[in-house]
Chain A
Amino acid sequence: MKLEAHNLTKAYHMHEVVNIEKVTFGAGGLEGLIGPNGAGKSTLMGLLTRRIAPTSGTIKLDVGSGEKTLNPLKSHEVARIGLIKTNQRIQGFDSLSIRDSLRLAATPPQDEGLMSLFSRKRDSNEIEEKVARLVEAFPFADRNGYAMSGGEKKLLDILRCLIKEPKLFLMDEPTAGLPEDITRLVMDMVREKVQAGRMRVVVVEHDLPLIWEYCDFVHFLSEGSILFEGKPEEVKANRVVAEKYMGV
């Protein structure tokens, strides 16, 4: 799946936060989005998932079976097309256990209607297996209970998105709040799925070594615009990037 944005702008009280002529996400497998603080990365992510309404411009989704314009869609419709994003701030369902949270994410909405009151079993074997595989793969303190620490909640947030098998997966600063070994586990799993052709990913990050290691393609955002894009080696070597970001 590809996301294409044309003439995308977002302004708050006359102050322009994002202004991008053209950018394509999802064409290059596992992509990275980097930029200094205040560059507009979170705003851009919000625009792409329709949490924030653009001031102007269009976003088109190429789902393979044709194009869809993203602008008028609602939050849940965006997710149903296959575009899922993790949360930067920790978000969760306090009343749901780890497994229940994942089951919720994995269950398609059409199975959650009135008829589900009369199902004999709540969750199918298929879903239970998917949930078990994910839960067993990560070191939660209480796998049969609730996510405890901030790190576990962050991890659960990512796993909820992964279990939905998104077509385009936006990861918003996955390292923040996660211990390094867990981040690697997550990124390894993500890279596997990308290489298997099952999804495209865009990772927003400050942790540059992570970006250089995992990404096939990197976009550099600064002051609301995409100043440079390319393979990791190209971006690392680019003078503008070095000046504006790495403080050289």
Chain B
Amino acid sequence: MDYLIFSLSLMFVYIGLAQLLHIQFGMAGIPNFGVVGFWGIGLYGTGVLYVNYGVPLLPAIVVASVLSMVIGYIMALLVLQRSGQAILAATLALAAVIATLVVSEKELTGGVQGLGTIKFPFDGVDSRNLIFMLFILAVVLALIWLSSRLRDSRMGRQLVAIRDNEELAASLGKDTAATKRLVFAITCGFMGVLGGMSAPLHQFLVPYQLAPSLTFAVWIALVLGGKGHNLGAMIGVFVTFGLFDILIETYAPVPAEQAILLPNFKLFCYGVLLVMIIMFRPKGILGEDKPRVADAAAGKG
């Protein structure tokens, strides 16, 4: 049961990350390949404050997330007005820098020895892990709700316009660079929140957690589910993490020798799925999504 709670909690974090990536890439057209970096700033920032300085968990998460937001804003200033490939490479590089710094600054982060232990809040309460899981779920549901509000709002429309034709949007008076920076910084900040919340889940932090695999898992889930659809993130994570990491890895009866290869089989399948989707149904399982707006004039608008 505890293991199921742990797996579900992780899954909710992935859904949250994929939802934020949907806003960044699906809505604003920003290909962020450094997801694990911003999540990692939240994770290790929270860990360092909690373990080294005794800051309680929730304030630590807030501070770490603000740092993640600031770094997101700086990256936005530096590279967001460049080509998609440049943004992809720069964010990938940023995540690598963060992972490397975590290893090199051993006095602060424990380096490869790791950092711990981070415990759930609400000391002394039974089922703290369950309560915390519900807390994560609440945050992720809020993110999904905010994301749908964004899609239906004037700001969301501006983002779509920027994604479709940024120069044209600017010629109509939209400050596209500022809007992109704002959206990117805030979503990176939320990635930091999810990272901070992952700290008590993992309990003991190691630099290996900052490997690019997390970024790619989130991307695969998003592309599979449909990057343009508000619920694409959720569906994608269900189909990848939910199906493989929870259902198959936990419950499928597999003999021990094969079981070691299971994670590799999972990643192999992710690769196959990704190739299939991009080749045959690039919009993803759910396809695209249109804003739900009541049209004052006649018709669907």
Contacts and interface: CB of A to CB of B under 8 A. Distances in A.
Contacts of A75: 167, 170-171
Contacts of A74: 170
Secondary structure of the B side of the interface?
Answer: helix
Given A76-B176, A104-B157, A118-B149, A85 B171 contact: yes
Interface string B129-156: 0000000000000000010011011111
B105 interface: no
B172 A79 contact: yes
* Contact-residue size bin, chain B (C-beta under 8 Å from the other chain): 35 or more
A128 B297 contact: yes
B297 A95 contact: no
Nearest to B292: A122
Interface string A132-173: 100100000001110000000000000011001000000000
Nearest to B150: A117
B152 A122 contact: yes
A175 B110 CA distance: 69
Nearest to A111: B154
A80 B299 CA distance: 31
Given A100-B301, A104-B161, A128-B297, A116 B172 contact: no
B64 to A, nearest CB: 22
Given A75-B167, A143-B299, A113 B155 contact: yes
Q: Which of A85, A100, A122, A125 has the most CB of B within 10 A?
A: A122
A192 B161 CA distance: 30
Interface string A45-80: 000010100000000000000000000001110011
Contacts, number: 114
A76 B170 contact: yes
A107 interface: yes
Interface in A96-121: 96-97, 99-100, 103-105, 107-109, 111-114, 116-119, 121
Contacts of A108: 173
A116 B171 contact: no
A92 B165 contact: yes
Contacts of B181: none
Nearest to B301: A99
Contacts of A111: 154
B149 A93 contact: no
A92 B174 contact: no
A92 B168 contact: yes
15 contacts: A84-B171, A95-B163, A99-B301, A104-B172, A105-B172, A107-B157, A108-B173, A109-B174, A109-B175, A114-B182, A116-B154, A116-B155, A117-B149, A123-B293, A164-B173
9 tightest A-B contacts by CB? A144-B299, A79-B173, A75-B170, A116-B154, A128-B296, A93-B164, A117-B149, A116-B153, A76-B170
